[in-house]
Structure 1
Amino acid sequence: MTTTFDAAVVAAVTGHMNGDHPEDNLLIVRAHGAPEASGAAMIGVDGEAGTWEVVGPEGPMGEVRVPWPAGAITERAEIRREVVALYDASCAALGVEPRAH
């Protein structure tokens, strides 16, 4: 069974990602199924994956759901670790130099 996080946790995570890391959102979706994306916003998080709403050059493209690199998680503290891992893997896949964490 997939762990679901409290709505306040999801709002905090998505708010942080969309407010402070929009460029990271874009890198993640480009590396995980939407290479033509021109914009992305994190819209969900659960124990299995993060979910992003994707926009392309011609408008909305739908959602991209990206599983956590280490597998299923159950604790809020694990979310940051997994998002950072996704960012690092996305940078590697796209040949982008990651910033320091």
Structure 2
Amino acid sequence: MNGRTRQEDDLLKTVGDGGNYLLNIGPRPDGTFEPEAISCMQQVGQWLARHGNTVYGTTGGPFVVDGQYTSTRKGKQINLFLFDKKRQKSDAERAGQ
């Protein structure tokens, strides 16, 4: 396992393709957030605190194979990210239930 959450992998797939990633999280009418939304934001934020240099200010990289790996680029630096195929299959099976 690669140690990343599904949201972190989704973020990497998006930026590896040159896109911008949105969590699609909004507040309740009273201005508070669902506990699951807070947890998601904290997890992604913690990951970005450690690895944000591989995402912020980058462009999509030259190496992308959907479902297997993606990359980002900043200047001459290329960052390669591998994905866990077993977890992706498990996520797809759960989505079909």
TM beyond 0.5: no
| Superposition TM-score, scaled by structure 1 size | 0.29
